[in-house]
Structure 1
Amino acid sequence: MAEKESYYDYEPSVAAAGIFVAIFAILGVMHFFQTFRTRTWFCIPFGLGALLEVIGYLCRGLGNSKPDVLILYIIQTLFILLAPILFAASVYMFLARIMRATNATHHSIIRINWVTKIFVGGDVLCFVIQGAGGGILAGADTQTSLDLGKGVILTGLCLQVVIFAFFMVVAAIWQKQMRGSEEDEMTSFNWLIYLQMLYVVSVLITVRNLFRVIEYAMGPDAYLLMNEWPIYVFDAFLMAIVLAICTRWYVADAMRKAQNEGKDNEGNNVEMLTQSDAGAC
């Protein structure tokens, strides 16, 4: 990519970047602390994603005084783009753990051992595709390579939207089968509250992904890329809400109780939500 006086079509806001650096740093520390306190290892991607957001918005803020520094532009572009994919990984794994905690895995239209594998596998694919697209953009020195990089990123974003839509269908069907079932009557774990939180988080991430799809589809001269406020409203703000909601997912006591109920009622070892399960992942 040829050197430019500025890689931005506007003057990056130091104040906005600083605010979200602080917000994501606080939320990231909260997630890492809770993850290690409760040994909820499947939530590690939340903390890692928050770290990417912190670095991304830090570099964006530095872009105010150093708009011609390519590495800062590349880092903020890639890290802010890729962080929500890590959030999605934990969201996918959470559904399987809700199913296992309620001893109702048979209500899933996908075999429980494949739920996490399919969705996290798709998530990894999205990460690779979007990362590759970002790499192409970083080294682009012709319009053809620029278009290729944007096309690759757009493909990854569209795939992410499709995967999330299918994920929500799987969750909704499981909920319908679970409501009023024997397992629903037998467990005191309030699974519906956590499933509803999962829906809200999924919708927020999907809205963010749709924003990114529209952003890249419209092109570099469109309004969304020519102005800075959309990225804070439709990306940073929504992802901060996602991380805030998910701080409520560390429910070790409730999961232990659900596990004991599963043993008493069915004679099976119900998987704890707060443990990483190699079979589920």
Structure 2
Amino acid sequence: MSSEHHDFLSYSPSLPLAAVALSLYTVMTTLHIFRTLKTSTWDNIPFVLGGIAQTTGYALRTALTQSPASSALYNGMSILLLLGPSLLMVTIVLTQTAYIASLDAGRFTLVPLRFQRFIYLSFTVLCLLVQAFGLAFSETDNAIRSIRAATQVIIASLIMQMFFWLFVFADGLVVQFRLSRHGTAAAAQVFPRWKRWNSLFGLGIMIICGRNLMVLTRYGMGPDGFLSLNEWTSYAFDGYQMVLVMGVWAMWYVPGRVRRAAESKLVVSDSNELSRADSRGPLYESP
């Protein structure tokens, strides 16, 4: 990539790289929209919104290759590509909670299962709002002091977000360890390969945490750092990695599998209740 300087970028943006990313995200997002509507798995809506944010962000980046001095294109791209992966994580976090519930493994969690969705979703949304505010403020205020303050806000929110995701990852590991030692009927009957599915949550979380670490490193190095001066790093450690997460999630479609497991658990539970009723004889009446 050329080192020719532009108003907002320290390199000449590559049209092929942006076009490939745009094409991949368009396909992945369309696939997730189809799967969400087909299976009515509404927890996947944030994932779809994250895909739309990534797709739109790379559409703006594609346009930016032709108009590298456009502040509107650059600001819009920056906001969408910063928030997109965080939206993907909303679905991963919500689905992990539903997955643990489908295994009847709530007693193994670090945070009581009945509080997880509210606490996890609230914290995730808070980080999203802080990031959006910080980035929007840094892009609209030209004062150096204001830009530095907004950048510090973004960095702080990224750090909080990463520690939160690592906690969610640790929660998944704890559940796996405890469930391996004290299995549940639901895990054996409706989710017999639950360990393999559990690894998909860890994969998604660690990849997105790695992306956060890359963004933090870029902010720490500043505009003259290696990550800011080389465009390929933003694709290798951010753009294409999020494509991998969306692709894996679409291929196995964890929200759909978790929903089927929950429905199967209800069927198994109903069947067991009927069996117990029949064993008590024709005179038994349920209260």
TM-score by length of structure 1 reads 0.89
For residues 211 and 106 of structure 2, what CA distance do their matches in structure 1 show?
30
Match of residue 216 from structure 2: 213
Match of residue 205 from structure 2: 202
Q: 1:205 to 1:5 in 2, by over 3 A?
A: closer
Q: Which moved more, 1:133-142 or 1:30-39?
A: 133-142
For residues 220 and 214 of structure 2, what CA distance do their matches in structure 1 show?
10
Shift of 1:166: 0.9
8 Å contact kept, 2:102–2:261: no
Match of residue 238 from structure 1: 241
8 Å contact kept, 1:103–1:262: no
Specify the code of the residue in structure 2 equivalent to 1:207: G
For residues 241 and 266 of structure 1, what CA distance do their matches in structure 2 show?
43
Q: Which moved more, 1:60-69 or 1:251-260?
A: 251-260
Q: Deviations over 1:98-120 (max 9, x none)?
A: 11111221222211111122222
8 Å contact kept, 2:10–2:228: yes
Q: Deviations over 1:15-38 (max 9, x none)?
A: 111111110111101111101100
Specify the code of the residue in structure 2 equivalent to 1:196: S
Q: How many residues align?
A: 264
For residues 229 and 173 of structure 2, what CA distance do their matches in structure 1 show?
38
Structure with more contact order per residue of length (Cα contacts < 8 Å, sep ≥ 6): 1
> Of 227, 231, 242, which residue of structure 2 is paired with 1:224?
227
Larger radius of gyration: 2
Match of residue 147 from structure 2: 146
Match of residue 159 from structure 1: 160
For residues 59 and 188 of structure 2, what CA distance do their matches in structure 1 show?
49
Shift of 1:134: 0.7
What's the C-alpha RMSD, in Å, of the aligned pairs?
A: 1.8
8 Å contact kept, 2:110–2:171: yes
Shift of 1:88: 0.6
Match of residue 176 from structure 1: 177
Match of residue 90 from structure 1: 91
Specify the code of the residue in structure 2 equivalent to 1:194: W
8 Å contact kept, 2:109–2:175: yes
> Of 256, 276, 279, which residue of structure 1 is paired with 2:263?
256
For residues 244 and 134 of structure 1, what CA distance do their matches in structure 2 show?
28
Aligned residue runs from structure 1 range 25-174, under 5 A: 25-174=26-175
Instruction: Report SS of the residue matched to 1:246.
Output: helix
Match of residue 285 from structure 2: none
Q: Does 1:10 align with 2:11?
A: yes
